[in-house]
Amino acid sequence: MEERLILASASPRRRELLARLGLPFTVVEASVIEDEDPELDPRLMVARNAARKADWVAERHPAAWVLGADTTVCIDGHALNKPADLAEARNMLRRLSGRTHTVHTGLALRRADRGVAWDASERCDVTFQVLDEATIDRYLSRVNVLDKAGAYGIQDHGELLIVGHTGEQATIMGLPLTLTKHLLTKAGLLN
């Protein structure tokens, strides 16, 4: 019998990235309240949120492998989660302008019927160019930023904002593929 994989995320970016690995999977959005305390250590926040999502779905699908993920942007020791509105998004982009920040993504792989609970995380640094108001306006007019931590997506007109980054671009998008592949190989889903 083929092992079943469930992505515990409604993120279209995570679906697209996971599909690159060539494994069949289904999507079940976890009905959880994410911890978005901007004062909490961002590594801990994304780890907790990824685990909450994976645990919620695994409890309802115990015979499936369940992958949860969460991403946030961190600058000056504070997390910049999804903005509540365009005014907050604008303020986030101003704060990131001309600076380097860190993107943290947490992963959780669960298999409830086997008692498997594996957690991992990855980080990347992203450097923004200095943004003037016209550039911010142009970016906000082209991209739906309200579903993106830090009010931006590297894959969505990132050339307007970003001058460079360390690490894997997929981590910044919300699903570190090298780390995901490692976990899925450990689970026997990939060779």
**Annotated catalytic residue 70:** yes
Neighbours of 48 (CB within 10 A): 18
Catalytic residue, chosen from 70, 113, 132, 137, is: 70
- Cα dist from 91 to 27, 120, 151, 165, whole Å: 33, 31, 9, 21
Neighbours of 154 (CB within 10 A): 22
- pLDDT of residue 170 exceeding 80, the answer is yes
| Per-residue pLDDT tens digits for 76-98 | 989 999 999 999 999 999 999 99
* 0.85 exceeded by pTM: yes
What pLDDT does residue 158 have? 94
Element (H, E) at 70: strand 65-75
What CATH number does the domain located at 5-186 have?
3.90.950.10
The residue length of the chain stands at 191
Q: What is the CA radius of gyration of the chain?
A: 17
HSE (side-chain half, CA atoms, 13 Å) at 98: 5
Neighbours of 142 (CB within 10 A): 11
